[in-house]
Amino acid sequence: MLTKLWLIRQQRSDHDRCRYGIVAILLGAAMLLTPLAGGEEPSKSWSQWRGPLGTGVAPDANPPVTWSETDHIRFKIAIPGKGHSTPIVHGDSIFLTAAIPYGDALEPRFSGRPGAHDNLPVTHQHKFVALAVNRKDGSIRWQNTLHQALPLEGGHNTASLASASPVTDGERVYVTFGSHGLYCLDREGQVLWKVNLGTMQTKHGHGEGSSPVLFGDILAVNWDHEGESYVAAFDKRTGRQLWKAARNEVTSWSTPIVVEHQGTAQLIVSGTSRVRSYNLATGEVIWECGGLSANIVASPVSANGMVFAGSSYEKRAFLAVRLAGAQGDITNTDHLVWSRSRGTPYVPSPLLYGNSLYFLRHYQGILSRVSVADGSDDGGPYRLGPIGNVYASPVGAADRIYVTDLNGRTLVIEHAIEPKVLSMNQLNDRFSASAAIVGNELFLRGERFLYCISRQPTPASSPQ
């Protein structure tokens, strides 16, 4: 077993330290854990993108540390089509989305957008499907084709046509395929309602990816693109639009978060122009803060009255915002507690674990660990050995950090200032979807297979 990390030594700049003084923060979950239907505690499920706290942490879980293709695999099943959406786990069901090509190959067509690069051509009609998998044995409970169409864009070669993760309240499952519709299904896969969100035109034709967010009875969607951008909220039971707010923004792929602060639920959306907070009930802007880069992908995280947002494209930026009293344009005010300009995340979202933030440099195998109080390096940064090309967001449980790369490797390290490498695990698949952790199980969705990795011994027979 590996026992140490590959360390990187870098000098800290004064700008990367506390910008307006150290703020003492005792972290707790800022997102309200709304009780799920059926009486299941939210912390016992992975019902949304980035897990029960919206931070990437499973607080009550204890997944395996080591595994392989032959060890600790409860089941491994082939998944139809392609999708980078995270598996959503509630009770004994796992919910997924996928895009499945069908029919004869067509003349390849590209988006033709200015600056387009590394794009896949549109060559086939696709079925856009949702499916449910039995958590106990890996059998597919149902698979429902929600839409059939020729995709508008082929997307970037690292993307998929099913990159938005589902979300569930335990009774219903909500999925979006962006330009191909927003859907509400019951747990048996029957469509209860559908909303047409419009036609998205993404930057360079790189595709769509923002996931819906659910809080109480409100479902919200970020619709930043090269056309008329907006954020909208819907009644989760009927699909009725509650409000719609225009946004002066270009394409982003970031999923919003909801933070309840002093009795008000705030919908917080990262954008190129501003990170903005909207009153979830009315759609009114509460505060906004500039400073991020273009091409926003990583989702923000929050705890105990603080919001943390990062980006990395033509510049590196990471911002820490104090919610208390934040109103209007708070750029360059003392509500911006600290900022960093190096090592910031691009595709993978940050992991907020206790008093530390973990994030990857761009999407490389270099992991920073910084203090939430002042943004200073809290141990690290660490070079993660052979880990590289990371598109999945890191997750945490049982005082461990899990980082999965595109080539099927998952590095497990201690959640500690001077961490040990606990294991390096290899699977025979490629992984862009972020992991889900529930109980003693880790769920990894690859290009071809869905893995359920369990602390219990591998069953004698598994549907592989």
In a domain, residue 71? The reply is yes
Q: Residue 144 belongs to a domain with what CATH number?
A: 2.130.10.10
Residues in CB range of 332: below 8 A, 6 or more apart: none
Q: What is the pLDDT along the chain (464 residues), one digit of tens a residue?
A: 444 565 454 444 433 433 333 333 333 344 444 545 555 676 789 999 999 999 999 999 999 999 999 999 999 999 999 999 999 999 999 999 999 999 999 988 887 777 777 788 889 999 999 999 999 999 999 999 999 999 988 888 888 999 999 999 999 999 999 999 999 999 999 999 999 999 999 998 888 999 999 999 999 999 999 999 999 999 999 999 999 999 999 999 999 999 999 999 999 999 999 999 999 999 999 999 999 999 999 999 999 899 999 999 989 999 999 999 999 999 999 999 999 999 999 999 999 999 999 999 999 999 999 999 999 999 889 999 999 999 999 999 999 999 999 999 999 999 999 899 999 999 999 999 999 999 999 999 999 999 999 987 666 545 44
DSSP code, position 192: E
Please indicate, yes or no, if residue 423 is contained in any of the structural domains: no
Strand partners, 174: 167, 184
At 433-462, the pLDDT tens digits run 999 999 999 999 999 999 999 987 666 545
Say how many domains are in the chain: 1
For 331, the domain range is 10-403+436-454
Does some domain include residue 24? yes
Asked whether residue 419 is assigned to any structural domain, the reply reads no
Q: Are 64 and 442 in contact (CB under 8 A)?
A: yes
Cα separation of 204 and 251, whole Å?
9
Report d(CA 326, CA 24) in Å as an integer: 18
Tell me if 170 is assigned to some domain.
yes
From CA 269, how far away is CA 213, in angstroms rounded?
11
String of b and e for 16-47 (b: at least 16 CB within 10 Å)? bbbbeeebebebebbbeebebeeeeebbbbbb
In a domain, 31, yes or no: yes
Task: Give the model confidence (pLDDT) of 375-434 as tens digits.
Answer: 999 988 999 999 999 999 999 999 999 999 999 999 999 999 989 999 999 999 999 999
Residue 51 · residue 57 · CB < 8 Å = yes
Specify if 413 maps to a domain: no
Collapsing DSSP states into helix, strand and coil, what is residue 300?
A: coil
Q: Are 161 and 99 in contact (CB under 8 A)?
A: yes
pLDDT number for residue 109: 85
Q: How far apart are CA 79 and CA 252, in angstroms?
A: 27
Give the integer Cα–Cα distance in Å for 195 and 176.
9
CA distance 247 to 95: 31
Q: 70: buried, middle or exposed (CB in 10 Å: 19+, 13-18, 0-12)? A: exposed
DSSP string, 142-179: EEEEEEEE--S---BTT--S--SPPEE-SSEEEEE-GG
Residue 288, domain member (yes or no):
yes
